[in-house]
A = this chain, B = another copy of it.
Amino acid sequence: MTSTLPRTVDPARLQEVLDGRWAHVRRDAREQLGDPKWAPVYGESVQEARERITRLAGELAATGRVGLGFPKEYGGEADAGGSVTSIEMLAFGDLSLMVKAGVQWGLFGGAVQLLGTQRHHDAYLPDIMSFALPGCFAMTETGHGSDVQQLRTTCTYDAGTRTFDLHTPHQAARKDYIGNAAEDGRMAVVFAQLVTQGEPRGVHAWLVPIRDEDGNPLPGVTIGDDGPKAGLLGVDNGRLSFDHVRVPREMLLDRYGQVAEDGTYTSSIENETRRFFTMLGTLVRGRVSVGGSAGSATKLALDIAVRYGDVRRQFAAPGRDREIVLNDYLVHQRKLLPALATSYALAFAQEELVNTMHDVQTAVHEHGEAVDEAAQRELESRAAGLKAANTWHATRTIQTCREACGGAGYLAENRLPQLKADTDVFTTFEGDNTVLLQLVAKGLLTGYRDAFGSLDGWGRVAFVADMVRETVLERTAARGLIARLVDAVPGRDEDVPLRDRGWQLKVFEFREKHTLEGAIRRLRRNAANEGMEPFQVFNSVQDHVLRTASTHIDRVVLEAFVAGIERTTDPDAKALLEALCDLYALSTIEADKGWFLEHGQLTPARSKALTATVNTLLAELRPHMVTLVDGFAIPREWKAAAILEEEADRQEAMHLEDRAAADARLRTAVVAPDDSATSVEVAPAQ
């Protein structure tokens, strides 16, 4: 599958493919969010940033775009995929505004919508959508962020007063890192352990007023400020504690669990853990949004670094009359191009995820269909895995882009510092990435209904039950095409060209399957060892277990890339994407070549050839670097990086001056041919 790339490719053809199903939402954002007021601002104090972002959140509400995800009865568009895409587009602008919007309309509004029932919707959704009622999503506690099933805030029903008693028993139980809490929030969706009739019923959520009309904390509510953060200065993260706060019975968001006046508890989901994860599962949109937003920030950073690298020059070379452009250096290409290929790959995977999320949620919430539990579980796993992949890619790549711009990359005027600082928290919020990989792994390892549990307690029984299962990987995208490509690979791998897509798909599959089977085998061996304590059964292979997740995600992403290429109609764009997909696949294999060599999937000779092939691909793709970032279609006014405006002019001015100076020296030399004339020859080469 060696490609001969066309000389030029129309970036609009790439954009079409990337824009996908919600192209209209993206187009609309590009057109409407061009006003400078939406651009990020640097150098503000925390207070200035918060005030600006609060104001902009109100203006954003007025545009109506925040309603995309809400029901039509309340003026929304019931378009789950559109709402996530809209957040992803906001992430090209000020990331504080994106997060503030995500808190208000995604987390807070989404919880009221999806965990509440009609009385909550009627009473609050209109004000939530208009931002008249700013609110918080108060789940995380100082002591429990990853393991939210173990939250320590209690909410105890008192049938006598028909109210709940919401209480923070100690400092580890205070709500922490809560967006909208420090200043703006008037109400909060508070997650706490429900106790009724003396019995714990697990985590539920209540809609709790926290501030009065004047913005003062209500009695019993203590509000703290998380203070300055690494980034996201415009988001007022804070802390909430409750000292026996009385909450009316009807403020329980009771879609999945109800408490009658006398305190009787009812739920359609018997198992407490399953109920909890069902509730959490409805909130998957947040995780999908973070992954998508990380993708946008990464594209923007790549756009800046690639364009700068295309005009910035450094170091002369013999025979070249100007210094070398950074993008011409192999090692610069090594930094930027595989990252660019991964951004394309993840964009295709994200598009697929948003599609799935939209369809699953629309079926349930709009068409009233029963939850397809397998589809829901798959969706959650995919959302978790791609959130981790997207956000780690963002942290790594934005750092690379910052370094690729040298000292200029450290100046706020060139945008990269803020992109870095703002996105940094993405790897640990909406689920710590390591914990999310564990969630993905657990899904892969058990594949059973009872996997639908907490992340802890990898007990003995579950593993033994697992062993009988045969590992069959289900292809995730473009199934027919991928099957054909894999089947077409001839028997002896060594003879297959490295750029054969079928071979690439096959080794990604092999690695996942082998890793998964290895993890199962190790867990079984451990579980059979009576002397091993349960925690060690799991912990001694935790690294291997997490690898099942990362290899799975890699395959999902590659398959999505292949499916994306399949949807590409323009032959030139298609050829370019084929080469880019080769680079994604081969640089991923290269980064893990130790494993492929250990497991007989690469011979030493083929492994060395792999590196050479990656370098060949870099040379092929070099002329298309700018086209590839053009494909992201990021409007000029969103970039807000001074170097993009200035560097080309500076280089040109220097070049003209250099030439004029050389001419002058030459004239001097001709007029007065003394010793100094020799400098004419030396100068251009040195």
B597 near A604 with CB under 8 A, answer yes
Query: Is residue A248 contacting chain B, with contact meaning CB distance below 8 A?
Result: no
Query: Is residue A368 contacting chain B, with contact meaning CB distance below 8 A?
Result: no
Residues 657-686 of A contacting B (Cβ, < 8 Å): 657-658, 661, 668, 675-676, 679, 683, 685-686
Residues 626-683 of A contacting B (Cβ, < 8 Å): 646, 649-651, 653-654, 657-658, 661, 668, 675-676, 679, 683
Q: A407-B145, A594-B597, A657-B169 are in contact. Are A227 and B412 (CB under 8 A)?
A: yes
Select A650's contact among B143, B334, B456, B650, beta carbons within 8 Å.
B143
Query: Is residue A480 contacting chain B, with contact meaning CB distance below 8 A?
Result: no
Copies of the polypeptide in the assembly: 2
Among A146-154, A284-292, A353-361, which stretch is in contact with chain B?
A: A146-154
- Smallest CB-CB separation from A546: which chain B residue? B331
- Smallest CB-CB separation from A611: which chain B residue? B543
Query: Is residue A105 contacting chain B, with contact meaning CB distance below 8 A?
Result: no
- Smallest CB-CB separation from A536: which chain B residue? B317
Name the distance in Å between A409's Cβ and chain B's nearest Cβ. Answer: 7
A319 near B650 with CB under 8 A, answer no
Residues 316-336 of A contacting B (Cβ, < 8 Å): 316-320, 323-324, 328-331, 334
Query: Is residue A410 contacting chain B, with contact meaning CB distance below 8 A?
Result: yes
Q: A230-B417, A230-B421, A542-B329 are in contact. Are A143 and B651 (CB under 8 A)?
A: yes
B146 near A657 with CB under 8 A, answer no
A317 to B460, CA, bound (A): 11
Which residues of B are found within 8 Å of A432, using beta-carbon distances?
403, 406
Query: Is residue A314 contacting chain B, with contact meaning CB distance below 8 A?
Result: yes
Which residues of B are found within 8 Å of A170, using beta-carbon distances?
650, 653-654, 657
Residues 408-459 of A contacting B (Cβ, < 8 Å): 409-413, 416-417, 420-421, 424-425, 427-429, 432-434, 454-457, 459
- Smallest CB-CB separation from A197: which chain B residue? B676
Among A172-180, A252-260, A340-348, which stretch is in contact with chain B?
A: A172-180
Among A1-9, A42-50, A125-133, A575-583, which stretch is in contact with chain B?
A: A42-50
User: Most chain-B CB neighbours within 10 Å: which of A46, A315, A433?
Assistant: A315
Query: Is residue A475 contacting chain B, with contact meaning CB distance below 8 A?
Result: no
Query: Is residue A533 contacting chain B, with contact meaning CB distance below 8 A?
Result: yes
A172 to B406, CA, bound (A): 15
B650 near A535 with CB under 8 A, answer no
A412 near B228 with CB under 8 A, answer yes
Q: A399-B395, A457-B686, A594-B594 are in contact. Are A150 and B43 (CB under 8 A)?
A: no
Query: Is residue A36 contacting chain B, with contact meaning CB distance below 8 A?
Result: no
Select A145's contact among B172, B324, B406, beta carbons within 8 Å.
B406
- Smallest CB-CB separation from A432: which chain B residue? B406
A592 to B416, CA, bound (A): 30
A331 near B542 with CB under 8 A, answer yes
Contact flags A588-609 to B (C-beta < 8 A → 1, else 0): 0010111001111000100110
Name the distance in Å between A273's Cβ and chain B's nearest Cβ. Answer: 7
Query: Is residue A267 contacting chain B, with contact meaning CB distance below 8 A?
Result: no
A227 to B169, CA, bound (A): 46
Query: Is residue A534 contacting chain B, with contact meaning CB distance below 8 A?
Result: yes
Select A331's contact among B143, B176, B543, beta carbons within 8 Å.
B543
How many residues from A make CB contacts under 8 Å with B? 113
A428 near B409 with CB under 8 A, answer yes
A649 to B427, CA, bound (A): 27
Which residues of B are found within 8 Å of A198, using beta-carbon distances?
668, 676
Which residues of B are found within 8 Å of A142, using beta-carbon distances?
650
Which residues of B are found within 8 Å of A35, using beta-carbon distances?
none
A595 to B32, CA, bound (A): 51
Q: A542-B330, A676-B198 are in contact. Are A229 and B604 (CB under 8 A)?
A: no
Besides the known contacts A395-B399, A410-B424, 12 further A-B residue pairs in the complex with CB atoms under 8 A apart = A45-B45, A147-B314, A149-B686, A172-B654, A228-B413, A229-B410, A316-B457, A317-B535, A318-B534, A331-B434, A417-B421, A543-B615
A residues engaging B (CB < 8 A)?
42-43, 45-46, 140, 142-147, 149-150, 152, 169-173, 176-177, 197-200, 226-231, 273, 314-320, 323-324, 328-331, 334, 395, 399, 402-403, 406-407, 409-413, 416-417, 420-421, 424-425, 427-429, 432-434, 454-457, 459, 533-535, 538-543, 546, 590, 592-594, 597-600, 604, 607-608, 611, 615, 646, 649-651, 653-654, 657-658, 661, 668, 675-676, 679, 683, 685-686
Cβ-closest 7 pairs across A and B: A230-B417, A593-B594, A317-B535, A228-B412, A594-B594, A43-B228, A597-B597
Q: List 25 A-B contacts (CB under 8 A).
A: A42-B228, A43-B227, A142-B650, A143-B654, A146-B314, A152-B657, A169-B661, A176-B407, A177-B407, A177-B411, A198-B668, A227-B413, A230-B421, A231-B417, A318-B534, A318-B535, A319-B533, A320-B535, A402-B424, A407-B429, A409-B428, A456-B686, A593-B598, A597-B604, A598-B608
